[in-house]
Amino acid sequence: MRKYQEGRERKLTELVCNCCGKKLTVENGIAVEESCHIEIPWGYFSKKDGENHIFDLCEECYDKIIRGFAVPPMVEERTEIF
Ligand SMILES: [Zn+2]
């Protein structure tokens, strides 16, 4: 979950893991702890048509959740770091 300060430019003020509620560190509008940010625009073939679901997971919760996957996520090495 992300909270922003609205103004001339939108500034991130709070970042919370939706799974465990842990507050992740935000400094000067920048998340300095990585999170898994998910935005799902559910569509016509779902039961949530027209809804966007948005959440963040801390790295520990992400690891816990993917350990429960029957098929693990595909992992690629990034050649460009951004
Ligand atoms: Zn968490």
- Write down the mean pLDDT value for the chain: 93
Report how far residue 53's alpha carbon sits from residue 6's, in angstroms, rounded to the nearest whole number.
21
pLDDT, tens only, 33-51: 999 999 999 999 999 999 9
Low-confidence ranges of the chain (pLDDT < 50): none
Judge whether 48 and 35 are in contact, CB under 8 Å. Answer: no
**CA 12 to the chain's CA centroid:** 13
Cα 76 to ligand 1 centroid, rounded to whole Å: 23
Cα 8 to ligand 1 centroid, rounded to whole Å: 31
